[in-house]
Amino acid sequence: MEKIGFIGLGIMGAPMAGHLLDAGYTVISTDHRSKAPADLVAKGLKTVTGNSAVAKAADIIITMVPDTPQVDEVLFGENGVASGLSKGKLVVDMSSISPIATKEFARKVNALGCDYLDAPVSGGEVGAKAASLTIMVGGEEKPFERAKPVFEKMGKNITLVGPNSVGQTTKVANQIVVALTIEAVAEALVFASKAGADPAKVRQALMGGLASSRILEVHGERMIKRTFAPGFRIELHQKDLNLALEGAKSLGVSLPNTSTTQQLFNSCAANGGGKDDHSGLVKALERMAGHDVA
């Protein structure tokens, strides 16, 4: 069984690493910045000092951090993963970051005689805890097959969608769909509630028709019950939509509804809601309507 390095034990990373420990993998992480979660230590998580040491101790190194600069720092910063790599190791970035930067990260890792996969995920905290994440992978077939048994301990829908960076491109597309669907659910519930309907019953009715979706089910309930603890933070979804809009500009593509939804996220962040779950987008519409769904 290959040894797994796991850097980034946050809301998503901690349960993902926990599933690997439950499956019998040796998992090594860094004690840098914060203490490892006690429940993972109890399961056998091993810690070393520094990202380079993680790379030296592991066969497959997984990163799960917030954004492109953090991946760059973890991989290539002082005492970074790259300095601890040796030929034949596999680096898997499961963060959601820039497809353009991903190509460069892969090139640098490949130059060291190692393989690289970009493997961002969808499913949020719920999917991470349930090991039901969708995993969108960019890279070559051989390293994908090597990593697949590891992915299967963390997710259900696992697809090699193309070469390096295509996994990240797929995740950006996913985040467009998720953001716009959250916005649609929020509009519908604000409209129905202000018209005098019970939003909980409206949601229940819609769940039985063509409007049914996982977002209506999960995020619609959050909007009604006012449970905006993340989850997936608005500030992170802002980051992902920035990637979409920057990519669209470079491609000469218009994404009008993505742009509008980003403005609603910006409104939430400007009013102190950047760390709310992304279902908190409903608050921007509520402010404009002068009416809360609840």
Q: List, in order, residues 6 or more apart from 153 with CB less than 8 Å away.
A: 19, 20, 22, 23, 25, 131
Say which of 56, 89, 103, 171 is annotated catalytic.
171
> 3-class DSSP state for residue 191?
helix
Look at residue 14 and give its three-state secondary structure: helix
Q: φ and ψ at 121, to 5 degrees?
A: -125, 160
Q: Which amino acid is at 165?
A: S
How many CB atoms within 10 Å of residue 63?
24
| Catalytic status, residue 3 | no
Q: Write the DSSP assignment of 217-281 as a string of letters.
A: HHHHHHHHHT--S-SSBHHHHHHHHHHHHHHHHHHT---HHHHHHHHHHHHHHHTT-TTSBGGGG
Task: For tokens 């390293």, name the residue.
Answer: 143
What is the sign, positive or negative, of the torsion defined by CA atoms of 58, 59, 65, 68? positive
Residue that is written with structure tokens 């669907």 in the block:
181
> Catalytic amino acids?
171
